[in-house]
Amino acid sequence: MPIDHKRINGPDETVPYTLFTKLNTQSLSQQFNKLICNGKRSDCRMPVEHRKIFLKTGVVSQAKGSAYIELGKTKVILCKRRLHQQDAEEKQYSAIMKQSLESTVCRHEFPNFQVDIYALVLHNDGSALSAAITAAGLALSHAGVPMYDLITSVTLGLQQNMKLLDPNFAEQGLCEMPISSNSENDNHGIITISMLHTHEQISQFYQSGNISLEDLNDSLKNP
């Protein structure tokens, strides 16, 4: 396997050191409360309000099917060219995307058919995985691949008793870690749900963090 020698050999997952320095006078709880002020988020959205979406197909002329999505400041393009060696996080997201899309394609009609889809994240301002899954389904439809339904995906962040639909990068980072002293009973995490709305089926459910079963069931009822 070819190795990208230009890539810095470091850990796949890191935590900003500024969170633990004396220069950072605000605790994690204070930072989270600063993002949610008077029931509204930093971008004036309600907790369960989605960002504006822009979708476009046929953005890559060399590919049979391609799509581009803007989810707020998050920008993802689906192209056919593989640009670099994948790290551990990208491999994990690739597996999640594959499982999400497999149930949408009529694979029984083409038993030996293979489709390669590569997502290039131009800018990640949160919810990049759900944006890539939604755009990937649109790219498959643009390529003329037989599908049962168009797939849509959404990300939900949970922190304590607050639920944030379509979190941005700062909100997603704070939802992925406990911010209170009693972390054992503190709900926090990220949920990514991919759905086929015509058939009312969930094609993929991905969860990270410490989330109670009640909140998990509630997220399925109101994704």
pLDDT tens per residue across span 112-152: 878 888 888 999 998 999 999 999 999 999 888 889 999 99
Do 39 and 162 meet the contact criterion of CB atoms below 8 Å apart? Answer: no
**Residues 29-51, mean pLDDT to the nearest whole number:** 83
Q: End-to-end alpha-carbon separation of the chain, Å?
A: 40
Amino acid at 130: S
In a domain, 168, yes or no: yes
In a domain, 185, yes or no: yes
In a domain, 174, yes or no: yes
Q: Considering its fold, how many domains does the chain have in total? A: 1
Alpha helices in the chain (DSSP H): 28-35, 88-102, 128-142, 169-175, 213-221
CATH of the domain at 70: 3.30.230.70
Do 135 and 187 meet the contact criterion of CB atoms below 8 Å apart? Answer: no
In a domain, 7, yes or no: no
Domain that holds residue 180: 26-221
Return the higher-pLDDT residue of 166 and 161: 166
In a domain, 87, yes or no: yes
Q: pLDDT tens across 82-94, in order?
A: 555 667 778 888 8
Give the residue among 5, 127, 12, 8 at the shortest CA–CA distance from 70.
Answer: 127
User: 3-state class of 185 per DSSP?
Assistant: coil
In a domain, 14, yes or no: no
In a domain, 2, yes or no: no
pTM: 0.82
Asked if pLDDT for residue 2 goes beyond 80, the answer is no
Do 115 and 140 meet the contact criterion of CB atoms below 8 Å apart? Answer: yes
In a domain, 13, yes or no: no
Give the residue among 40, 35, 69 at the shortest CA–CA distance from 168.
Answer: 35
Q: Going by C-beta distance under 8 Å and a sequence separation of 6 or more, which residues neighbour residue 67?
A: 55, 56, 57, 59, 77, 78, 135, 136, 138, 139, 142
**Residues 40-64, mean pLDDT to the nearest whole number:** 88
Do 78 and 66 meet the contact criterion of CB atoms below 8 Å apart? Answer: yes
What is d(CA 116, CA 179) in angstroms, rounded to the nearest whole number? Answer: 40
Q: Is 120 left (phi over 0), alpha (psi -120 to 50) or beta?
A: beta
Give the residue among 209, 217, 218 at the shortest CA–CA distance from 175.
Answer: 209
What is the band of 61 on the pLDDT scale with cuts at 50, 70, 90?
A: confident
Return the bridge partners of 79, or none.
118
Q: How much is the pLDDT for 151? A: 93
What is d(CA 157, CA 45) in angstroms, rounded to the nearest whole number? Answer: 14
Q: How much is the pLDDT for 13? A: 67
